[in-house]
Amino acid sequence: MMNLSSTMKAYGCRYCVSPLKQLLHTTNHHLRFRPRSPSLFSSSFNNLKLPNFNLLLTSNSLFFTMEHLWGRSGMNTNKKMVEHLQQYGVISSEKVARVMETIDRALFVPDRTPAYADCPQEIGYNATISAPHMHATCLQLLEEKLQPGMHALDVGSGTGYLTACFAMMVGPQGRAIGVEHIPELVASSINNIEKSAAAPLLKKGSLSMHVGDGREGWPECAPYDAIHVGAAAPEMPQALLDQLKPGGRMVIPVGNIFQDLKVVDKNPDGSISIRSESSVRYVPLTSRDAQLQS
């Protein structure tokens, strides 16, 4: 049986990992719960129903704990999803809550999937859209660098959800750039954004999606106040450090077998300060061919 510790782990990686590796390595992001009602939290744990082993071998199997705690059946609106994230202490920022309410996650997941459950969804090409709590975590870590007029880069933009959130936060005078190396995902992300509240920003050009190798960033619009990376680099990518503005911040998982979600701040003098936010498990920041063959 899986060990259900007080510090829960939930999936937030953008790319799919082998189910066997998921089982062997507990391959997920830390999520720190701060429930308002301890009795409710204890009751939720006592009522968990563990899946059978066959279910554990499905791509999202390790996240059944989150789905039970957050209630898939009751999570039927974007607003309720955000309220749950607030209730459990994942979202503390009013601005992040407002943006996540404005950008409807259902527009960015495949049809007939539980858009508001706190678990990832497969989007094809061995990729996923991360769980809502991971989006909220990254938005809060970068919030100070996502002020109106600032520039933000989303490496591995997938369906475009987080890039759209960035665009709403930096506004029409800012720039939000999504970079994704799967052309089909870039095309679908543009379609998704066109249906969302961020559509005017896409039309204006302050939000744009590009096909490219995210490991090289997007130098045309650099430097960036905020950079988000959705896969683990074996070491800090120099190209992304170079494109980070003095005073800017990057959130990136770094490591091989053992990984940490790093918060990288470039000081005004150009020096770099790095701290670890939590232990995580992502698949590698890699090439398009390697991703498609995984």
pLDDT, tens digit, 9 for 90 and up, residues 90-128: 999 999 999 999 999 999 999 888 999 998 788 888 888
Mean confidence (pLDDT) of the chain: 79
What's the mean pLDDT in 267-293?
85
pLDDT attached to residue 224: 98
Distance separating alpha carbons of residues 127 and 166, to the nearest angstrom: 20
Q: What is the dihedral of CA 223, 199, 287, 293, to 10 degrees?
A: 170
Q: How far is CA 70 from CA 73, 122, 163, in A?
A: 9, 19, 25
pLDDT of residue 129: 85
| Spatial contact of 276 and 261, defined as CB atoms under 8 Å apart | yes
Compare 17 and 236 and report the one with higher pLDDT: 236
What average pLDDT does range 200-218 have in this prediction? Answer: 97
Whole-prediction pTM:
0.78
* Contacts (Cβ under 8 Å, ≥6 apart) of 141: 249, 251, 263, 277
pLDDT surpasses 70 at 65: no
Integer Cα distance of 159 and 166 in angstroms? 13
The pLDDT-based confidence of 74 (bands split at 50, 70, 90) is: low
For the cut 70, the answer to whether the pLDDT of residue 2 exceeds it is no
Classify strands 259-266 and 244-255 as parallel, antiparallel or unpaired.
antiparallel
What residues pair up with 8 in beta bridges, in sequence order? Answer: 31
User: Which of the four pLDDT bands, split at 50, 70 and 90, describes residue 279?
Assistant: confident
Lowest-confidence segment of 60-64, 193-197, 215-219, 250-254 by average pLDDT: 60-64
The predicted model gives 227-250 an average pLDDT of 94
Nearest-angstrom CA–CA distance, 143 and 172: 17
More confident residue, 118 or 245: 245
The stretch 55-63 carries a mean pLDDT of 29
Tens-place pLDDT, residues 14-56 = 444 433 333 333 333 433 333 333 333 333 333 433 333 332 2
Instruction: Tell whether the model's pLDDT for residue 234 goes beyond 80.
Output: yes
Question: CA-CA-CA-CA torsion for 260, 266, 272, 275, nearest 10 degrees?
Answer: -30
Q: Is the pLDDT of residue 60 over 90?
A: no
Query: Over the stretch 149-203, which tens digit does the pLDDT of each residue have?
Result: 999 999 999 999 999 999 999 999 999 999 999 999 999 999 999 999 999 999 9
**Bridge partners for 128 per DSSP:** 122
> Which positions are annotated as active-site residues?
130
Res 12: pLDDT: 44
Is the predicted pLDDT of residue 13 greater than 50, yes or no?
Answer: no
Using CA atoms, how far residue 24 sits from 27, 130, 229, in Å, is 8, 21, 24
Strand partners, 122: 128
Helices (H), the chain: 19-25, 38-46, 53-56, 64-70, 78-87, 94-102, 132-142, 161-170, 183-194, 199-204, 238-243, 288-293
Q: What pLDDT is stored for residue 131 in this prediction?
A: 85
Q: Is the backbone peptide bond immediately before 223 cis, with ω within 30 degrees of 0?
A: yes
Provide the 10 A C-beta neighbour count for residue 80. Answer: 14
Token pair for 270: 């150009």
